């Protein structure tokens, strides 16, 4: 079983157990990465992607490629400039290819704590009031400066 996935602006043909080099993905080594943009699985072609299909891989290595030397040369101008570039990449081992997708569990967020209320009772009637503290900040203003008059020398 093979699949064609889209990642880093490229389309890559993968099968289970392959080790591929892709553009840098911000996932730590040893963690798994999920590719949702699956263009094709065997003879099933998506339009543009197959709904629910995923490819799961494990990040093996985060590194940079060998240095690519770029030479800038202008003839008859005595301009020779050499500089280099190292492109970061991620090495991924493909674990599974699934046409039906993967069930993911959503982590629940902590709930907000409600504000406390105080009850004040009178002899006539019971009243429930919410007491909230308000803070005020004194504004400080600076005096506006007058523009300086320019002296004209004659």
Confidence of residue 80 (pLDDT cuts 50, 70, 90): very high
Q: Is the pLDDT of residue 112 over 70?
A: no
Residue (of 34, 2, 37, 6) closest to 17 by Cα position:
2
Average pLDDT over residues 3-32: 95
Q: Is the pLDDT of residue 106 over 70?
A: no
What DSSP designation does 148 have?
A: P
Of 69 and 134, more confident: 69
Q: How far apart are CA 31 and CA 33, in angstroms?
A: 7
Confidence of residue 149 (pLDDT cuts 50, 70, 90): confident
Q: Are 6 and 20 in contact (CB under 8 A)?
A: no
Of 137 and 54, more confident: 54
Mean pLDDT value across the chain: 82
Average pLDDT over residues 73-101: 93
Q: pLDDT digit string (tens) for 31-72?
A: 999 999 999 998 889 999 999 999 999 999 999 999 999 999
Q: What is the pTM of this model?
A: 0.58
Q: Which of 17-21, 100-104, 142-146 has the lowest mean pLDDT?
A: 100-104
Residue with tokens 């840098």: 24
Q: Where are the alpha helices (DSSP H) in 33-146?
A: none
């Amino acid at each position: 079983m093979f699949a064609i996935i889209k990642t880093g602006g490229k389309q890559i043909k993968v099968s289970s157990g392959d080790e591929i080099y892709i553009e840098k993905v911000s996932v730590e080594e040893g963690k798994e990465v999920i590719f949702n943009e699956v263009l094709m699985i065997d003879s099933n072609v998506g339009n543009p992607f197959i709904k629910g299909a995923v490819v799961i891989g494990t990040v093996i290595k985060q590194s940079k490629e060998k240095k690519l030397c770029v030479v800038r040369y202008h003839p008859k101008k005595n301009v020779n400039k050499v500089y280099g570039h190292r492109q970061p990449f991620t090495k991924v081992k493909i674990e599974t290819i699934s046409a039906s997708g993967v069930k993911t569990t959503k982590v629940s967020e902590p709930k907000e704590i409600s504000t406390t209320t105080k009850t004040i009772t009178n002899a006539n009637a019971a009243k429930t009031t919410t007491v909230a503290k308000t803070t005020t900040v004194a504004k400080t203003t600076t005096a506006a400066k007058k523009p300086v008059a320019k002296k004209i020398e004659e």
